[in-house]
Amino acid sequence: MSLEERTQHTGPRPARPHDRADWRKMLGVGVIASLLGIAAGLLIDWFPIAASQEAKSIDTLWDVLIIFSVPVFVGVTTVVLFSAFKFRMRPGEENLDGPPIHGNTRLEVIWTAIPAIVLVGLCTYAFIVLEDVEAADSNPVKVRVVGEQFAWTFFYERDGKEVVSRQLHVPIGRQIKFTLQSKDVLHDFWVPAFRMKKDAVPGINVTYTVTPTRAGIYPIVCAELCGLGHAVMRSTATVDPPEKFATWLAALGKPAGGTGAGGGGAAGGGAAAGKAVFTSTEGNCAACHTLADAGATGQTGPDLGKVLKGKDEAFIRQSIVDPSAEIAPGYEDGIMPPNFEQTLPRAELDALVKYLSEVTKEG
Ligand code: CUA
């Protein structure tokens, strides 16, 4: 093609007869895609059960954010794809310019002003929700939460003293103030049903509050990669009616069976009681260890049927309360929590040792 021929073909593309209809179609496609996106965002149940007052306002905030942000992503993406197809270059238009457009001040003011207003509005709303979920009550239930590789321990105040628990129990309808601490690395204390989570940082106290509204047992998850045992750093939060919580707190740390007369059965039924400890959430041995007798298949720690085979009670006790003393071949130090002596009541620990000694005699 000569220069002369090319100059003859350049210049603005003449308007197509359907341009205006295409433009309307483009808007229509964007609106429909946005509506479908919003519907998917709102109709699908994305979250676990909501078990706290905070969860309600946070879930509502999420819904509002979906309504405003889905059109921005789904709508804009669809319009871009539609335009790229619909207004693409046709054969014979290779040397033509697009239509001569010199900007449109009114359009530019609108598409700057609307997102700015939406953004300021959503930020204000999110800030109000944040203030609301962080508002402190005058008389919360205080729980000190200590994270370490790879377990959570909970400390309660009772009669001016601290009592320790491996399980988290909280009452319905009272604000709970968690004070998070870490003994080693960053962890993150998260109860998805409460919707609140914060890092536990070594050396400082991090706090947040939650008001449980629904009885039940909910998972506690460590949400910060903290080492080899991160995935098993789980526990449960039990939400109880206030009376039940008070009973539990009063009995915390006292010998098992104390609610009945004497509780003399604990010593006699040692092995059977020990099996219960093994599988309980207090002991939670089954989460990490394999033990045929207890139906446990955990893979994080060694198979107890093998490593404890023929070992005496003293060795087994040491392995539980001081797991670093001797590490099974092929396993690493520091995976098993070192604080079972503090978190398991004495009678339960004794029963657990007795049980493990009996079931691993023959391997
Ligand atoms: Cu602790 Cu992840």
C-alpha of residue 50 to centroid of ligand 1, in Å? 23
For residue 85, what are its two tokens? 């197809």
Ligand 1 centroid to 150 CA: how many Å?
6
d(CA 66, CA 132): 20
DSSP conformation class of 144: E
- Distance in Å, CA 79 to ligand 1 centroid: 43
Pairing of strands 161-165, 196-200: unpaired
Look at residue 18 in the predicted model and tell me its pLDDT: 64
pLDDT for 27 equals: 85
pLDDT values of the chain reduced to their tens digit, one per residue, 363 residues: 445 444 445 566 666 666 677 778 888 888 898 899 899 888 888 889 999 999 999 999 999 999 999 888 888 898 889 888 888 888 888 888 777 777 889 989 998 999 999 999 999 999 999 999 988 888 899 999 999 988 999 999 988 888 999 889 999 999 999 999 999 999 999 999 999 999 999 999 999 999 999 999 999 999 999 998 899 999 999 999 999 999 999 988 776 544 443 333 444 457 778 888 887 766 778 778 888 888 888 877 888 888 888 888 888 888 888 888 888 888 877 777 777 877 777 888 888 888 888 888 875
**Could you tell me if the CB of 222 is within 6 A of ligand 1?**
yes
CA-nearest residue, atom 1 of ligand 1: 187
**Residue with structure tokens 């010199």?**
102
Ligand 1 in contact with 148 (CB < 6 A)? no
- Decide: pTM greater than 0.75: no
pLDDT (0 to 100) of residue 266: 41
Ligand 1 lined by 224 (C-beta under 6 Å): yes
The number of the ligand 1 atom at minimal distance from the alpha carbon of 233 is 1
Segment holding 222, helix H or strand E: strand 216-222
Ligand 1 atom nearest 225 alpha carbon? 2
Cα of 337 from ligand 1 centre, angstroms: 12
Is ligand 1 within 6 A of the CB of residue 180? no
Q: How far is the CA of 342 from the centre of ligand 1 (A)?
A: 20
Please identify, by atom number, the ligand 1 atom nearest to the C-alpha of residue 223. Answer: 2
Q: Is the CB of 147 under 6 A from ligand 1?
A: yes
| Residue 233, ligand 1, Cβ within 6 A | yes
- 3 state DSSP class of 57: helix
